[in-house]
Amino acid sequence: MGKKKIYLFCDAGMSTSIMVNQMQGIADKHNMPLEISAYPIARAQETVEKEKPICILLGPQVKFLLKSTQETFEPMGIPVAAIAPEIYGAMDGEKALKEALKLIKNKK
């Protein structure tokens, strides 16, 4: 079975790529079959429809889109949450990954 995908969306996908690297490093260290990627929120619809991730996280800069993003993707069975600003600000990939895994677990 292939790797499960976790997608992070932010304004342009720049700073979030740093968070992706932190999270992917933790996932790889623990041999988790995860592929974590960052994209600009403007590409969310096409990206999610094409790849169907198991979880979506929003960067704090697009947190105002949380409700609409949840309304769009949660009916597809994809949980959506915003990364806490303190986790994002510290670029704490381990905490962000734990939040994503908790979100996935609670969805089942």
Task: Tell me if 21 sits within 8 A of 93, measured CB to CB.
Answer: yes
Average pLDDT, the chain: 94
pLDDT digit string (tens) for 47-74?
A: 999 989 999 999 999 999 999 999 999 9
Map out the domains of the chain with their CATH numbers: 4-107 (3.40.50.2300)
Q: Which positions are annotated as active-site residues?
A: 10
**Token pair of 29 as six digits:** 């260290």
Q: What is the pLDDT of residues 76-94, one digit of tens each?
A: 999 999 999 999 999 999 9
**pLDDT value at residue 14:** 72
